[in-house]
Amino acid sequence: MATTPEGKVKAAIKKYLAKLGAWWFMPATGGYGKSGVPDFIVCWQGKLIAIEAKAPGKSGNTTPMQEQQISEINAAGGVAFVCEDVSALVRYFGVPA
């Protein structure tokens, strides 16, 4: 089975988070959770970080619910952002890939 461009980004994010030693999970809402929650919920050095993965060139394709959740997480003091390649993680975490 071929990996989608977004799937490749998610795989790279997982590898990077493992390198950091961060705790993370990927919530599966399936109609039972909160809609629009980012793909990765991360805890690193006492910080809540939420990452929405998008295929390269598609970072502007977030849904209104995803934008709302990203805004609410940031307003609550966490950090939430869209990631289309590992360079966004390197910029935030400051650790080379």
Q: What's the whole-number average pLDDT of the chain?
A: 93
Dihedrals φ, ψ of 65, to 5°? -65, -40
Residue 10 belongs to domain with CATH number: 3.40.1350.10
Q: 35 pLDDT band (50/70/90 cuts)?
A: confident
pLDDT at 1 over 60: no
pLDDT given for residue 97 in this prediction: 86
CA distances for 77 relative to 3, 37, 70, 73, 80, angstroms:
34, 16, 11, 7, 10
pLDDT one-digit tens code per residue, 77-91: 999 999 999 999 999
Radius of gyration of the chain, Cα coordinates, nearest whole angstrom:
13
> What range defines the domain where residue 78 resides?
5-93
Structural domains in the chain (count): 1
Q: 2 pLDDT band (50/70/90 cuts)?
A: low
The mean pLDDT value for 17-45 works out to 91
